[in-house]
Amino acid sequence: MTHLILGCGFLGSSLCDGLLSITSDTIYVVSRSRPASLSSDQIKHIAADAFTVSTFSYLLASVHTLYYFLPSGFPASDTVNPLSIISSFSELILACKRFNVSRFIFASSVAVYGESKTRVHFTESSGLHPVSLHAEIKSVQERILLSHSTPSFYPLICRISNPYGYNQTRNAMQGIVGIIIRKLSSSQQIVLRANGHCTRDFIYIDDLITMILEVSRNPPPEINILNLCQGFSTDILSVYNLIASYYRTTNHPLFSELAPHEVHDSFVSNSLLASLYPHLTSNLTPIEIGISKLLSYQ
């Protein structure tokens, strides 16, 4: 069995670590540069633009599971070209079907749900109300992928909350936990939106990768969408205070208003995941312990 990972940022490199721990299968990774952490001979790196399908399509004939971890832009940014991303995505799906790729694991985002105005936890059947361009692109990609689902082509959409962990903080451009650590560790000032009272569902990277590996190896029958999340939310100021206490900083964050493309509260349910895979949600890492682990890697 051969695995193909498109994109090798925070999630992609962490998935490589997870696959190496459970399989001797060949793992192909397509990204412009090979992260230093991917040193195993079991990993075959293809130095190419993963948005250009023709640069790696020759691999698809041997691929059983494809993991799509390419970005659709930063969650709080509107500076991407959506048409080129969606066009490339559509081309990739057609190529996967042509070469009989069995499983397509798509890293989507809980951002597709939009604002939790009543603080009700979103489930997989909740309506989508994306606010940012990042979330809008993800929602379009989801619809395209589902429209191509067949018994021989199994897409699984993983709506991921806010992952954090090792591999994230060295060059963090997104991910609030990584950004806070990077700034506080270098004594930089940080600005938090809405007085820091925005809420997010944070999931530790080890828990997330365990979920992805399990659902990709043992996909749920007749289910194409799963929320991969902690199941409860934490306000960002509390996260800041946890990290600030580690660095013993006396600097207080600055505050600003929410940008138009940001949500204030995000509450997401993992009840479907828990009903299908109880072992995946029974011992999730609390954010206090997860941040402590993360800081120990610094």
pLDDT, position 78: 47
pLDDT, position 269: 98
pLDDT, position 182: 87
Tell me the chain's radius of gyration from C-alpha atoms: 19
- 53 vs 92: CA distance, rounded Å: 6
pLDDT, position 69: 95
Query: Which residues on adjacent β-strands are paired with residue 191?
Result: 254
Q: Which two tokens stand for residue 45?
A: 């790196």
pLDDT, position 73: 61
Ranges of residues in the chain with a pLDDT under 50 are 75-78, 171-173
Q: Which two tokens stand for residue 178?
A: 């990584």
For the chain, give the number of residues.
Answer: 298
Nearest residue to 264 (alpha-carbon basis) of 276, 256, 253: 256
**Residue burial 217-256, b: 16+ Cβ < 10 Å; e: rest:** eebeeeebbbbbbbbbbbbbbebbebbbebeebeeebeee
- 55 vs 11: CA distance, rounded Å: 22
pLDDT, position 169: 52
H/E stretch holding 88: helix 82-98
Domain(s) of CATH 3.90.25.10: residues in the chain: 166-199+233-265+285-296
Whose structure tokens read 């040193």? Answer: 39
pLDDT, position 75: 47
pLDDT, position 76: 42
What pTM was estimated for this model as a whole? 0.94
Q: Domain 166-199+233-265+285-296: give its CATH code.
A: 3.90.25.10
pLDDT, position 170: 52
pLDDT, position 77: 44
Query: Are the beta carbons of 158 and 226 closer than 8 angstroms?
Result: yes
Domain(s) of CATH 3.40.50.720: residues in the chain: 2-163+202-230+268-281
Q: Into which CATH architecture does domain 2-163+202-230+268-281 fall?
A: 3-Layer(aba) Sandwich (3.40)
